[in-house]
A and B are shown apart, each in its own frame.
Chain A
Amino acid sequence: MATVPFDPHPTEQIDMASLFPSAEWLAQFQIEISRSASYAVSARTWEGDC
C-alpha cells in the first residue's frame, strides 16, 4: 500500500500576495547591517538601533 504524505492543508490557497519593503530598501538595509558599526553592536547585544 502506498504511503500518502501527510498534508494538513491539502487545498491551501495563498492568494493576493504582497512583498515588502521594496527591493531597494532591502538592498540598502543589507549594506547597512553589513557595514554599520551600530548594527555590529546590536548584533552582539540586540540593542542599539531604533
Chain B
Amino acid sequence: MANPVYELDPVTHITAGAVGAPGRRIFYIQAERGLDRITLLTEKQQVEALTEAIDEMVENLEKEFGLTRHQELFVDEVSMSIKEPVEPLFRVGAMGLGYDANRDRILLVAQEALGEEENRDPREVRFFATRAQMQVLSVYARDIIARGRSPDQVTLQAEAQNRRNGHGE
C-alpha cells in the first residue's frame, strides 16, 4: 500500500522549535493551514540541517534566479513558539527541500523514521511555504538551538562560521 501523505498547501504558519528545559529539550517542526495543524517530532541535528538547507536554498535562489532574500524579517517569539498541546504525527527521518518556481514556494518534505523491525511504508508530510516564512523559521530555529549551548560552544560555532565565510582565520 502506498505511504500516506499529509499536505498543507500553502501553510499559514510554519516553525521549528523546542519544548522543555535545556539539556532535555524536545525539538519539533510545526505547521498550520487555518485550523489544521501538523506537528512532527525531530532531533536537534535535523532542525539544524533544515536551517542550513533553507539558508543554502535562499542563497541559491538569489544567485541563480535573482530572487532577493527578505532583508527585514520580523521574528515574533510568541507566534514562532511550538503551540501546545503537542501531539506529533510521527518522528521524522529523512527530509527534503524543493522549490516550486511557478508559485514561488519552498516545499519541505518530511518522511517518518521507522525502526529496523517496522515493515511498512513511512508516512510523509509536505509543507508549501513562502521564502519569507522559511527564512523566519531558519532564523528562529538557529536562535533556539543556540540557547541550549554553553557560551563557549556558541563562540566556537561563530568562529567556524566566520572561517567558512572567509572571515577571520
Instruction: Give chain A's interface residues, CB within 8 Å of chain B.
Output: 9, 11-21, 25-26, 29-31, 33-35, 43, 46-47, 49-50
Contact = CB atoms under 8 A, between A and B. Distances in A.
11 contacts: A15-B99, A16-B60, A16-B98, A16-B99, A20-B95, A20-B96, A30-B93, A34-B117, A46-B41, A49-B43, A50-B23
Contacts of B37: none
Contacts of A13: 100-102
Given A30-B113, A33-B115, A50-B20, A17 B97 contact: yes
B91 A19 contact: no
Nearest to B91: A33
Looking at B41, B64, B113, the one whose CB has the most chain A CB atoms below 10 A away is: B113
A27 B100 CA distance: 29
Question: Interface residues of B toward A: which range?
Answer: 35 or more
Contacts of B169: none
A37 to B, nearest CB: 13
B45 interface: yes
Contacts of A26: 93-94, 113
A47 B57 contact: no
Contact of A15 (B44, B46, B53, B101): B101
